[in-house]
Amino acid sequence: MSRVCVFIDGSNLYFALKRNNKNTRVDYHQLSLALLKTDRTLIRTYYYNAVFDVNAFPDKAKNQQSFLDSLDRTPYLELRLGRIVQNREGHRMEKGVDVRMASDMVYYAARDFYDTAIVLTEDQDFAPALALVKEMGKHVELAVFPDAQNREMVKTCDKLINLNEVVDAHSATIFPAAPDKDDHRSTPPVASMNLPVQASPAAIPPPPPVPVTAPAPPPVPVSAPAPSRAAEKTSATASKTRKRGDDDDNFGNR
């Protein structure tokens, strides 16, 4: 039975889902299984993205953490993180992601870790790495939406997978429902990387305020409670895996 590894360019997938009006809250294990079908074995899924430095961007780094925690709980998934840096002009850039993903594909092929690599990216810079993997006797399958079939990438891969057909056929399992207010887990948005990113789920409203009586009359006005943790996590989900732009707090521009 053929052994398969899935390599996901997180922020690239997030924007592809968003551009095609798909949910961006994604269960990456179910997405990997849907890409495999039934006659192959999933060895591992590798998910690549970039994070804010906790010292330079403490608030943004904190908002990303619940998403990263959910990825750590995803079966057979390895999280590979680069970093987001800001240049002198104030533009945010993603560093270390593409190199790590290309290196892993080639390294694990050389180690005979898999027979087939399924790659989710629209970035043509990966074409040389895909060619090297093929030269080692491995198969390469490229999963992209029909509106982003780069000629060089299509020419390099052995097989093209219509990602639109895959996510539509398995939407019930790939795109999980938003967690309720009692669920402290954060499901990956498409990405959320962001995982998948979907039309981001509506935020869960905070619980109603509890009336409080002052120790002595007259009663002291009580401020409304802060939003629930689930609401914060859900609102953070929509931006988790973005491809970093100046207005993007999640995963910046390459």
The strand pairing partners of 162, in sequence order, are 144
Q: What is the pLDDT of residues 19-36, one digit of tens each?
A: 999 999 999 999 999 999
Whether residue 117 contacts residue 142, with contact meaning beta carbons closer than 8 Å, is answered with no
Q: What is the pLDDT of residues 53-74, one digit of tens each?
A: 777 778 888 888 888 888 989 9
Continuous segment of H or E residues that includes residue 59: helix 58-72
The strand pairing partners of 93, in sequence order, are 85, 253
Range of weakest confidence among 19-23, 37-41, 154-158? 37-41
How far apart are the two ends of the chain, measured CA to CA in Å? 37
Which of these, 47, 188, 11, 32, lies nearest to 116 by C-alpha position? 32
Average pLDDT over residues 129-144: 97
Which amino acid, 91? H
Domains and CATH numbers, the chain: 2-237 (3.40.50.1010)
Average pLDDT over residues 87-109: 90
Continuous segment of H or E residues that includes residue 230: helix 229-237
pLDDT at 102 over 60: yes
Q: Provide the percentage of residues in the chain whose pLDDT is more than 70.
A: 70
Helices 58-72 and 229-237 meet at what angle, rounded to 10?
90
Coil/strand/helix, residue 12: helix
Q: Which two tokens stand for residue 50?
A: 């970039």
Whether residue 179 contacts residue 187, with contact meaning beta carbons closer than 8 Å, is answered with yes
CB contact set of 221 (below 8 Å; sequence gap of 6+):
none
Coil/strand/helix, residue 161: strand
Has this prediction a pTM greater than 0.75? Answer: no
CA distance 129 to 147: 23
CA distance 176 to 212: 38
Q: Is the preceding omega at residue 218 within 30 degrees of 0, hence cis? A: yes
